[in-house]
Amino acid sequence: MLGVDDRLITPETIKWVKVGLIAGIATIPTTILLYYVLGLTVDAAFAGSNLLRDWLWILVLLVLAKAGLAWLFRTGQFRASSAAKLNVRDQIYRQVVDLGPGVLGKRRTGEIANTATEGVEYLDYYFSVYFVQIWVAIAIPIFLCAAIFWIDWVVGLWMLAGVPLTPLFVGSSARGFRRISAKNEDVKNRNSAQYLDSIQGMSTLKMFNEDQRRGAQMEADNETQRKTTMRLLLVAQSQFVVLELGFALFSTAVAMGVALYRYSGGFVTPGEVVAVVLISLEFSRTLLLIGEFFFAGALGREVAAKVVEFLNETVPVARQGDGRRPSKSGQAIGVELKDLTFTYPGAESPAIRSLNMQLAPNETVALIGKSGSGKTTVTNLLLRTLQPDAGQILYAGMPAEDLSVAWIREQLALVPQDPFLFYGTIADNLRMAKQDATEQELKDALGAAELLQFVESSPAGLNTMVGDQGMALSGGQAQRLAIARALLKDAPLVVLDEPTSQIDVETEELLNRALERLCANKTVLLIAHRLSTIERADRIVVMDEGTVAEQGTRAQLLGQNGIYAGMVQTKREIESAGLVPAPAV
């Protein structure tokens, strides 16, 4: 009905659009009738009677009806926009969830956030102004010309002659306006992303003395945005001047001149002249509406196009709410990856190719390899945030395609290298794993993660604020809180992405004790970035160029003199030279 993607509108939106449209169109004949009655009272006054006194109640009713319809018109507009705006934000959030970190990790967060916040505000004008007012603006000249024709056909012809000038003028400037509005939206999204990056990376900017240069760059970008915004306003205001002060005044002057000429010839009465002039003034309302919905429509269309483009991005893993949800056994489960191949959108070569790997129940498998070998992609495939192009993943012997994605993720606990902590308290972040956890369960998890002493020594205890992204905690405390969260979840399959790579030796000892408790009686995939971590593994899988290059126990791999043996040899040479430990792999 509204000519936009169905995902951007709801039945509630359509209902209120109809309400606003009906009220807006009904206002026109009500206004015409009001002016015509005023004209009749003028004629009665010329005839020596006081019709105004007799018809005062009719005029009052018409004024009240006009006011009521105007209120309903605006209410319909903004109720429609509110419903649409909430729906669009929900759609964007659901798409963010469906795309997952495997895809979103390659996009700028600030651009998505700007579209979902400021961008959606322009959709407010799009739905509240554009969809309703465009039809009302079309209906007004038709009603007005018909009314003037009914009063006097000569005046009606003169008024009708000027009607096509407005759409011709608007259409002539529409193409350039759309081009400017598209550029303006791109600049705004880019600046928002740049601003968010600068806040999150402020420590790095200051360390490299880049804060001033970055500030100057942002100032230049903001100036670019200001110029494009001013160009938009210039086009809009130019239209207002030409339409409102040009066409509107011209149409009223023509109506008054022709009506007075017809009156001098005895073809119309004084009251009809008054009615014609008052009705002609309503043409300015048409022009004002056109100016409003043209500006709102151009900006709203660009935002709507970007939202639709985002919603059209291919979701790597389709929702499987109706998949199987086997009962949780409480025991470790095995995982098998069979002939997996995966290529990122736009990439020339696969990130994973013909990969085969098994994790037996209660086994700890270390996954190592140089940067870019595919370790992170394997993690995302296991977490079902990416869908393999070919091959199969089996959980406890069951194909992933037959299982609910929610169930699969319930079986997994992830402790990443850089855990994300949400703004809030320690208790809030722990309950991400278990919403109904008791205070004692939270303390037990913190105790097992070697963090309870810190929490109990804090004045606020479990209500200690962790800060934005956990900035109020040290790196080791943040890691242990992530381990406590994983302990609270108690999932049978644990994925560790080198949680000890960026901490000191003393903290590493605490973390290792916490990790031992977390991994007890669990199937563990250990993404290793340094060789010292691998000692806890039962088996080692070495990746190279997206596939398994070698695998086996530590002794077996050392005996093969392959990639792993070369890593160990390099580490020994570095240590014997008195240099720092071997770099991450």
Tell me, what's the pLDDT at 451?
84
SS3 per residue for 322-379? CCECCCCCCCCCCEEEEEEEECCCCCCCCCEEEEEEEECCCCEEEEECCCCCCHHHHH
Give tens-digit pLDDT for 308-325.
777 777 766 655 545 667
pLDDT band at 484 (very low <50, low <70, confident <90, very high): confident
Question: Highest mean pLDDT: which of 78-92, 459-473, 545-559?
Answer: 545-559
Average pLDDT, the chain: 76
Other CB atoms closer than 10 Å to residue 412's CB: what's the count? Answer: 22
Q: At what angle do helices 11-46 and 56-104 cross, to 10 degrees?
A: 160
Question: Of 490, 514, 547, which residue is a domain's last?
Answer: 490
180 and 118 share a domain?
yes
Other CB atoms closer than 10 Å to residue 209's CB: what's the count? Answer: 8
Whether 458 maps to a domain, the answer reads yes
Whether 506 maps to a domain, the answer reads no
Q: Give residue 280's Cα distance to chain centre.
A: 45
Tell me, what's the pLDDT at 338?
92
Domain that holds residue 139: 6-311
Averaged pLDDT, 472-499: 83
Task: Decide if pLDDT at 284 tops 80.
Answer: no
Whole-number Å distance between alpha carbons of 227 and 561: 63
Question: Of 440, 467, 490, which residue is a domain's last?
Answer: 490
Indicate the DSSP class of residue 108.
-
351 and 230 share a domain?
no
CA-based angle 190:99:325, to the nearest 5?
A: 160
Averaged pLDDT, 322-345: 78
234 and 270 share a domain?
yes
Averaged pLDDT, 97-110: 62
Whether 289 maps to a domain, the answer reads yes
534 and 549 share a domain?
yes
Task: Decide if pLDDT at 256 tops 70.
Answer: yes
Per mean pLDDT, which range of 71-85, 187-201, 268-282, 484-498 is the poorest?
187-201
Question: Of 490, 510, 538, which residue is a domain's last?
Answer: 490
184 and 245 share a domain?
yes
* Sheet with strand 335-342: strands edge to edge: 352-359, 335-342, 390-395, 398-399
**Dihedral over Cα of 197, 203, 208, 211: its sign:** positive
Q: Most distant CA pair in the chain: distance in Å?
A: 120
Whole-number Å distance between alpha carbons of 357 and 523: 14
Q: Are 237 and 8 in contact (CB under 8 A)?
A: no
Total number of domains constituting the chain: 3
Whether 427 maps to a domain, the answer reads yes
Per mean pLDDT, which range of 128-132, 347-351, 403-407, 435-439 is the poorest?
128-132
136 and 170 share a domain?
yes
Whether 340 maps to a domain, the answer reads yes
CA-based angle 327:329:331, to the nearest 5?
A: 150
In this structure, what CATH number is given to the domain that contains residue 440? 3.40.50.300
20 and 151 share a domain?
yes
Whether 508 maps to a domain, the answer reads no
Q: Are 286 and 137 in contact (CB under 8 A)?
A: yes
288 and 210 share a domain?
yes
31 and 88 share a domain?
yes
Question: Highest mean pLDDT: which of 131-135, 168-172, 223-227, 378-382?
Answer: 378-382
405 and 436 share a domain?
no
387 and 433 share a domain?
no
Give tens-digit pLDDT for 516-570.
787 788 888 888 766 667 777 889 898 888 888 888 888 888 888 888 888 888 7
Whether 324 maps to a domain, the answer reads no
Task: Decide if pLDDT at 377 tops 80.
Answer: yes
Closest of 144, 201, 119, 175 to residue 27, by C-alpha = 144
Tell me, what's the pLDDT at 227?
78
Whole-number Å distance between alpha carbons of 42 and 347: 78
Q: Which amino acid is at 304?
A: A
Whether 157 maps to a domain, the answer reads yes
Averaged pLDDT, 49-68: 80
306 and 380 share a domain?
no
In this structure, what CATH number is given to the domain that contains residue 307? 1.20.1560.10
